Amino acid sequence: MALPPLDIKRRGSVWEALFGLLVDWEMRDSEYHWAIRLMQESGYSIDEIEDILKQEVAPAWFCSPKVQWQNSEMISLSREEAVAAVQAYLAKSNTLWCRWRRYQMRKEGYGGLPYPINDRWNRASSMMRRAERDGAT
């Protein structure tokens, strides 16, 4: 799926929410609900958000030492930090380093997303689909 044109204000909240799924601690329901609320308020479809995760956020996380694991823990990113991380990745996404890291990410993960990102995305997207089906936001 082709991603919609880059709208930093709208996309920034999705980037922040998706980076929230990458933290290296057990996520509580309240953290899932926070991320889901941000993603739903963006107006993007679930499929578009999944593409944003796979094409922008996960590779930005995987390709950038600034947002990598530190002492076995992922730092939570603010919206501004998430926007800066994805923009930095998009500016250098065709470098040899980023192509190699994307290859590693696909190799390690099911569907292009390594564990635990894939599991967390599956849980968040199923919660969003359930909310859509039930008419809740």
Asked if the structure places residue 126 within a domain, the reply is yes
Instruction: With H, G, I as helix, E, B as strand and everything else as coil, classify residue 93.
Output: coil
The total domain count for the chain is 1
Query: How far is Cα 128 from Cα 45, in angstroms, rounded to an integer?
Result: 10
CB 118 within 8 A of CB 109: yes
For residue 30, being part of any structural domain is answered with yes
Distance of alpha carbon 55 from alpha carbon 102, whole angstroms: 10
Residue 74 is part of which domain span? 8-134
Position 90 in a domain: yes
Residue 62's Cβ-count burial label (10 Å; 0-12, 13-18, 19+) is: buried
At residue 13, φ and ψ (nearest 5 deg) are -70, -35
Q: Is residue 35 part of a domain?
A: yes
Residue 2, domain member (yes or no): no
Residue 119 confidence (pLDDT) above 60: yes
Residue 33 lies in a domain: yes
pLDDT digits (tens, 9 = 90+) for 76-104: 778 888 888 888 888 888 888 888 877 87
The pLDDT, as a whole number, for residue 5 is: 65
Would you say residue 3 lies in a domain? Answer: no
Calculate the CA dihedral of residues 126, 132, 136, 137 and round it to 10 degrees. Answer: 80
pLDDT tier for residue 71 given thresholds of 50, 70 and 90: very low
Q: What percent of the chain has pLDDT over 90?
A: 31
Measured N-to-C along each axis, helices 96-108 and 79-92 cross at an angle, to the nearest 10 degrees, of 110
Whether pTM exceeds 0.75: yes
Q: Is 1 part of a structural domain of the chain?
A: no
What end-to-end distance do the CA atoms of the chain give, in Å? 24
Residue 21 has pLDDT above 90, yes or no: no
